Structure 1
Amino acid sequence: MKRKRIVCVALSLMLVLSLAGFTGCGKKSASNGELNIFTWTEYVPESVIEDFEKEYGIKVNWTTFSSNEDMLAKVKTESAGTYDIVQPSDYMVEQMIAQDMLMELDKDVITNIENIDSAFLDPSYDPGNKYSVPYQGGVAAIAVNTDKVSKEITSYDDLFSEDLKGSIVSLDDYRAVIGMTARSMGYSMNETDTDKLAKVEEKLLKLKDNVKVYDSDSPKNSLISGDCTVGYCWAAEIALAQEENPAIKIVFPKEGPYVFMDNWAVLKTAKNSENAMKFINYMLDSETSQKVSEEFPYLNPNAKAVEELGDEYKSNEAKNPPADVIASGEYVSNLDTDTLAIYDAMWTKLKK
């Protein structure tokens, strides 16, 4: 108790500055533990994560991936408990369930599931939403810079035209690109017949000269910059590109598009499962979901949030693809390992 006054003053000043700095950052301490999430790139607003941390006092450790396959491989190679929450697409949910990788969701905590439109519940890949709940979805559509491209483009098949040499930015996703090729030929995106797949490969390789950039993270950048004048990418990316350049138009392919739905799921090895359930419920809150769509305008399955987003969102076909477009499309399904090996070999030849 006999410390010199100058020491006391110094310590007091340090404490005040420390508290001021803490208050200035606007975050609560991680008094309620941590949460490790693994999501798609450019898909969850940082502000939403920060708001969750403030509200719940939970520190979020956030990592991103660029494809379902990358996510699965990373989860399998990292030590158990590295990740709590993942964000798999429809077919990957099915695959992870089959491999006993996902934890059953606690619906007593995830009460905001009632905000989800019934049309997006009880999917074939997870009956009863036992292991997953929908986050956002959409279609893989075609972007066309009408100031630069005179050719009329109406279909996936048009992307293989020699007129488009070196002009396309394409999703860097083998199921999306091979599936699109198959669909352009009247086949399923989930084709397994080896004779048909041989024909798909022959056509697929014709795409090599047309694709200038492969980018699943932010294909809009190539469209906005003018590096590419045509895109095969997520409709939401086209919507964001249109905000910068109204000459960029969206085309829903006449074959019917690749349709997807991404989901929240909790790994069976999660160390922070209680926090994971709280986070998923938070993300299904209509106000939170509205904030997500305002920054990343994908198809939103949260009916309450869609109502709050209003006509600007609901009437924008790039942000909110029409029901008949969705109905005309096809989801990717989980395939057997032998077929996936064929797909992988085709993809390697295309990218070589």
Structure 2
Amino acid sequence: MLILTMMDMSHFNLTINLEATMKTFPRKSTIFFAMITFILLCAISQPVCAADNYSNFEPPEACIAQAKTEGVLRIYDWAEWWPEELYTGFEKKYGIKIIRDNYGSTEEMNTKFRLNPEVPYDIVSIGSGSFMLLKEFGALKKLNHEWIPNVDNYIMDDFKKTEFDPNFEYYAPLSIYITGIAYNSNIVDPNTKDLDSWKIVFEKNEFAGRMTALDDSYEAVGSALMYLGYNPNSCDEKELKEATDLLLKQKPNLIAYDAYPTRLFAEQETVLSVMWAGDVYWTAQEVPGIKLSLPREGTMMGFDSIAIAKGGKSPAAAHLFLNWIWSPENHVKLIEGIGYAPTHKATPHMLSDKVKSFPAMSLSSEYLKKCILPNYEAAVGKGRALRAKIWEKIKR
């Protein structure tokens, strides 16, 4: 049971009846509590609050001084994703030069750290599945919480201890993502049958040859498993064989496996694509008419964040940047730019109506029951090796 008590138009209390909520959400992950809190925050009509209504907590002077001495911050992340002003603003404020190297897929990033866990990056942008993998490789440093006061003051309590990082030592989730189906509403009728189902990307139809899917083994196999009625984390070899056969059947209908098919949408080479929901939001800014559909069977979900890499030479600058991103002003810029749901206590109060209206920002409690987080076995254990073999076969 969720009890919402209105105090006034800009402040309210949220009380969760834990026993009743656990009956509604039988899975152990606390992500559902945080997501519901966020949904209720966004659902209430209230004025957008200015960033200066919330304090920015600077790290200790010793951290700032050491970071300036280090002078350089090396970041490994996706290209053209976060707003550029988050990087340039940091450089201007602290006088620290940022050098970025970009990867084109999670597989590329995972492979680089598998081959060399001490790649000389200070910060790496990773999702929850890759976090578990890089932690297993020994590629990450523990957080110094004294140097990241914005994180400790503003992260929603439910995210301080996750099943991925139970002691809150390595990872501070910045946002929450889900996977959906993007389509060009100028070409694809929103009332098209099964547009709200994985069926539309796995069964041959009029969009064959004009579709793309994510270049990501976990997402590809997971979507096939969900369409077949299985858990996307399944490590059952019979179920994975069925998923493999389905992916092989799907492959001729795709023009590419592509994490960012914006150009393909713009040139109308693709009209339908499996994408991370936030990237649908981002693509829609570039290509008018791009919409998001959520598969009725359910979908995969996870966290996005940045972690501090073991091989980096600028640990203070890395912490300083993490704290910078977690300031209320910068975190809302991040969420407004990428369209993912926030884990920051202040951000929901500050989002524009445009972002609040995006489908991935207003998931119902019923749909959340169908959103599945990656688990250790699928991301790192037996399931990863099985998925790697499947992906090698699919990509031949």
Class of the TM-score when normalised by the shorter of the 2 chains: 0.7 to 0.9
Q: 1:84 aligns with which of 100, 106, 122?
A: 122
Classify 1:81/1:67 alpha carbon distance in 2 versus 1 (closer, same or farther; 3 Å): closer
Cα distance, 1:267 vs. partner? Answer: 1.9
Is contact 1:35-1:276 (8 Å) kept? yes
Classify 1:61/1:243 alpha carbon distance in 2 versus 1 (closer, same or farther; 3 Å): closer
Deviations 1:147-184 (A, max 9, x none): 42353212112211211311212111111111110111
Is contact 2:217-2:391 (8 Å) kept? yes
Is contact 2:70-2:314 (8 Å) kept? no
Q: How does 1:18-57 map to 2 (within 5 A)?
A: 33-57=71-95
Give me the whole-angstrom Cα distance separating, in 1, the residues matched to 2:310 and 2:338. Answer: 29
Q: 1:142 aligns with which of 181, 194, 213?
A: 181
Q: 2:131 aligns with which of 93, 112, 129?
A: 93
Write the letter of the residue equivalent to 2:171.
S
TM-score computed with the length of structure 2 as normaliser:
0.75
Deviations 1:227-270 (A, max 9, x none): 11111001122223334555433111111111121122112332
Cα distance, 1:90 vs. partner? Answer: 0.8
Question: For 2:102, what is the secondary structure of its paired residue?
Answer: strand
Rg larger in structure: 1
Give me the whole-angstrom Cα distance separating, in 2, the residues matched to 1:45 and 1:135. Answer: 14
Residue 394 of structure 2 corresponds to which residue in structure 1?
350
Segments of 5+ residues of structure 1 without an aligned counterpart are 1-29
Residue 106 of structure 2 corresponds to which residue in structure 1?
68
Write the letter of the residue equivalent to 1:201.
T
Classify 1:70/1:112 alpha carbon distance in 2 versus 1 (closer, same or farther; 3 Å): same
Give me the whole-angstrom Cα distance separating, in 2, the residues matched to 1:156 and 1:128. Answer: 36
Identity of aligned residues (%): 26
Higher mean C-alpha displacement, 177-186 vs 205-214: 205-214
Q: How does 1:1-352 map to 2 (within 5 A)?
A: 33-77=71-115, 80=118, 82-113=120-151, 114-150=153-189, 151-152=192-193, 153-163=195-205, 164-216=207-259, 218-243=260-285, 247-318=289-360, 320-322=361-363, 324=365, 325-334=367-376, 335=378, 338-352=382-396
Segments of 5+ residues of structure 2 without an aligned counterpart are 1-67
Is contact 1:224-1:241 (8 Å) kept? no
Question: For 2:387, what is the secondary structure of its paired residue?
Answer: helix
Write the letter of the residue equivalent to 1:237.
D
TM-score computed with the length of structure 1 as normaliser:
0.84
Cα distance, 1:142 vs. partner? Answer: 0.7
Give me the whole-angstrom Cα distance separating, in 2, the residues matched to 1:189 and 1:135. Answer: 23
Question: For 1:208, what is the secondary structure of its paired residue?
Answer: helix
Classify 1:206/1:344 alpha carbon distance in 2 versus 1 (closer, same or farther; 3 Å): same
Cα distance, 1:31 vs. partner? Answer: 5.6
Is contact 2:266-2:287 (8 Å) kept? yes
Give me the whole-angstrom Cα distance separating, in 1, the residues matched to 2:387 and 2:352. Answer: 41
Higher mean C-alpha displacement, 242-251 vs 159-168: 242-251
Is contact 2:235-2:382 (8 Å) kept? no
Question: For 1:36, what is the secondary structure of its paired residue?
Answer: strand
Give me the whole-angstrom Cα distance separating, in 2, the residues matched to 1:188 and 1:295. Answer: 31
Is contact 1:143-1:230 (8 Å) kept? yes
Cα distance, 1:288 vs. partner? Answer: 0.9
Deviations 1:83-136 (A, max 9, x none): 111122112222222333321111111111122223433211111321011123
Query: Over the residues paired in the alignment, what is the CA RMSD in angstroms?
Result: 2.3
Is contact 1:35-1:275 (8 Å) kept? yes
Is contact 1:93-1:126 (8 Å) kept? no
